[in-house]
């Protein structure tokens, strides 16, 4: 039986807007990555390392699993 | 194009490499077809191509600085570098293997040297194309 595959999704865009409409650049500066990297993470084009994922959650003052979640890939 | 300085730098490197070393290979190819078999005869042309490459890289990066401030490399840039190198290094390995085989078979040095040069260039071009793909479509 094939193992189920998972992808990491996130709610960064929604949480940014709920956090006084924080810009991607502001979040990038807090996390220590480029704005393009935040944009790629939001768009699902890049899965960050655990360190950056924790930094993003910390920037929003939220637990990691309220920002990132693993969902099964639909076949 | 809302590209980072890092991504613009990759575009600059790709264009410069294709123009400078591609130009060298076109002219060198004609020289080889004309029967020029002494390797030193290609040296001035090669030096000119390298100087052109360095100048173009300098100008290109200066232009890339306009409109995008360098933010420093982060983990995404490093992962893209690693993935691109992983996907392109086989071309150089194949070129080295082909060059060694050619040397064993007694192929003239000028062909061996240019086989190596072509494989280095193709490996670099493939790596840069892969980087652009990863920057645009995700890694």
**What's the pLDDT tens digit per position in B63-90?**
999 877 788 889 999 999 999 999 999 9
Check B138 against A46: CB less than 8 A apart.
yes
Check B76 against A46: CB less than 8 A apart.
yes
- Compute the Cα dihedral for B64, B65, B68, B72 and give only its sign: positive
- Mean predicted confidence (pLDDT) in B89-105: 97
* pLDDT confidence band for A3 (50 / 70 / 90): confident
List the domains of chain A with CATH numbers. 6-72 (1.10.260.40)
pLDDT of residue B1: 53
* pLDDT confidence band for A50 (50 / 70 / 90): very high
Burial environment of residue B4 by CB neighbours within 10 A (0 to 12, 13 to 18, 19 or more): buried
Tell me which residue in B75, B77, B139 faces A52 most closely, judged by beta carbons: B75
Tell me which residue in B2, B76, B137 faces A37 most closely, judged by beta carbons: B76
Q: Give the residue numbers in A contacting B (CB under 8 Å), as ranges.
A: 28, 32-37, 39-40, 43-46, 48-49, 52
Check A36 against B137: CB less than 8 A apart.
no
Phi, psi of A32 (to 5 degrees): 90, 30
Give residues with Cβ within 8 angstroms of B92, minimum separation 6.
B119, B120, B123
Residue B69 near residue B9 (C-beta atoms within 8 A): no
pLDDT of residue B3: 81
* A-B contacts at Cβ under 8 angstroms: 39
pLDDT tens digits for B8-25? 999 999 999 999 999 999
Instruction: Give dist(CA B47, CA B123) in Å, integer.
Output: 21
pLDDT tens digits for A5-46? 888 899 999 999 998 899 999 999 999 999 999 999 999 999
Residue of A nearest to B137 (CA): A45
Element (H, E) at B112: helix B109-137
pLDDT of residue A74: 74
Task: For residue B54, give how far its alpha carbon lies from the nearest alpha carbon of chain A (Å).
Answer: 27
User: Phi-psi bin for B72: left (phi > 0), alpha (psi -120 to 50), beta?
Assistant: left
pLDDT tens digits for B21-42? 999 999 999 999 999 989 999 9
The answer to whether ipTM exceeds 0.90 is no
Task: For residue A14, give how far its alpha carbon lies from the nearest alpha carbon of chain B (Å).
Answer: 21
* pLDDT confidence band for A75 (50 / 70 / 90): low
Task: For residue A32, give how far its alpha carbon lies from the nearest alpha carbon of chain B (Å).
Answer: 8
* pLDDT confidence band for B2 (50 / 70 / 90): confident
- Mean predicted confidence (pLDDT) in B120-131: 97
pLDDT of residue B119: 97
Residue of A nearest to B77 (CA): A37
- Mean predicted confidence (pLDDT) in B110-118: 95
Task: For residue A69, give how far its alpha carbon lies from the nearest alpha carbon of chain B (Å).
Answer: 19
More confident residue, A1 or B29: B29
């Amino acid at each position: 039986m094939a193992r189920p595959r998972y992808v990491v999704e996130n709610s960064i865009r929604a949480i940014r807007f709920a956090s006084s409409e924080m810009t991607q650049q502001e979040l990038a500066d807090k996390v220590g990555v480029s704005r393009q990297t935040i944009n790629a993470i939001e768009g699902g084009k890049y899965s960050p390392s655990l360190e950056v994922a924790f930094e993003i959650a910390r920037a929003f003052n939220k637990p990691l699993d309220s920002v990132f979640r693993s969902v099964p890939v639909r076949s | 194009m809302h590209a980072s300085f890092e991504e613009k730098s990759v575009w600059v490197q790709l264009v410069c490499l294709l123009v400078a070393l591609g130009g060298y290979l076109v002219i060198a190819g004609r020289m080889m077809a004309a029967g020029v078999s002494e390797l030193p005869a290609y040296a001035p042309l090669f030096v000119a191509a390298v100087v052109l490459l360095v100048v173009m890289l300098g100008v290109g990066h200066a232009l890339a600085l306009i409109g995008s401030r360098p933010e420093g490399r982060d983990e995404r840039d490093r992962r893209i570098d690693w993935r691109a190198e992983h996907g392109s290094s086989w071309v150089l390995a194949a070129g080295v293997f082909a060059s060694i085989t050619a040397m064993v078979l007694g192929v003239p040095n000028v062909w061996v040297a240019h086989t190596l040069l072509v494989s280095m260039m193709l490996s670099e071009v493939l790596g840069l194309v892969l980087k652009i793909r990863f920057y645009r479509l995700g890694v």
